[in-house]
Amino acid sequence: MTDSTDSVRVYFVGTAGSGKSTLTKAFKLWMDERGLSTTTVNLDPGVEELGYSPDVDVRDWVSVKSVMAEQGLGPNGAQIACADMAALSFPEIASVIEGFRSDYILIDTPGQIELFAFRRASEVFLESFTSGHGIIVFVLDPAVTKTPAGLVSLLILSSSVQFRFSTPLELVLGKADLLSEIEQEQIQAWCSSPEMLMDALQQDQMDMQKVAAVEFLRAVETLGSSKPPLPVSGTEVTGIEDLYNTIQQLYFGGEDIRSD
């Protein structure tokens, strides 16, 4: 059993459909197979189908469906209301999570990324834990990253998340199994070489968009957020070990906590 102060909290963050929930499930399966304890947490009060049964579910405290019925709000308004209402329960929720005393806590954040990235509630949640071991895994949508402008847009979004929270951030290329090997190599090359990505932007964009796109890329470069993402696939359960090793390197000098 792990002391709660040694647990690693992994926040899976990304746009809707990027593969956060599938990756959460795959990471847990991978950990289970190696005898490592995990606690899965759903922070999306509006999700209807996760594909796994979370150990801790924010919907046990507040749900979009209930708020819509009780307050007569639409889906978007109810999501915002739920985020603010959940913040009041976050100390209790964090206490329940830490009570599991797991090696890793896998936190599946809302599909509406702005609820995590820009609402005060997320800061309250992060501050509710006693452990300092946290990492944000920003999941890049493969369909968006296939174009230079789409990739830069996601890098800017990940930079905004990194700017908001004093927590390490790791980029992963979600649903990598949907990309060809050539497409994966192209994305990796763009992320490894800002100059190559800038050239691709200038070729891809209309004249009126080129200046803005290049300036965006320079901002990302200045923030140091452009780096090769780890290709992962929740469906095929690939790339999970690389992500695990990256996290272990960050907090434990690469020491493997596996029992074998």
Question: Measured at the alpha carbon of residue 14, what is the angle toward residues 229 and 235, in degrees to the nearest 5?
Answer: 70
Render pLDDT for 214-235 as a digit per residue (tens, 0 to 9): 676 676 666 555 678 999 999 9
Q: How large a percentage of the chain has pLDDT more than 90?
A: 50
| pTM across the whole model | 0.89
pLDDT for residue 75? 86
Work out the burial of residue 222: count CB atoms within 10 Å of its CB; fewer than 13 is exposed, 13-18 middle, 19 or more buried: exposed
Does the structure show a pLDDT above 70 at 211?
no
Q: Tokens 């369909």 belong to which residue?
A: 143
pLDDT single digits (tens) 155-166: 888 888 888 887
Cβ neighbours around 3 below 10 Å, total: 10
pLDDT digit string, tens, across residues 36-95: 999 999 999 988 889 999 999 999 999 999 999 999 889 889 988 998 898 899 999 999
Question: What confidence tens digit (pLDDT) does each residue in 107-138 have?
Answer: 999 988 888 888 888 888 888 887 668 999 99
The CA distance from 227 to 196, in Å, is: 13
Helix H, strand E, coil C: the string for 24-74 is HHHHHHHHHHCCCCEEEEECCCCCCCCCCCCCEEHHHCCCHHHHHHHHCCC
Go through the domains of the chain in sequence order and give each one's CATH number: 4-140+166-176+228-252 (3.40.50.300)
DSSP conformation class of 178: G
Q: What span, in angstroms and rounded, lies between the C-alpha atoms of 27 and 103?
A: 12
Say whether 189 sits in a helix, a strand or coil.
helix
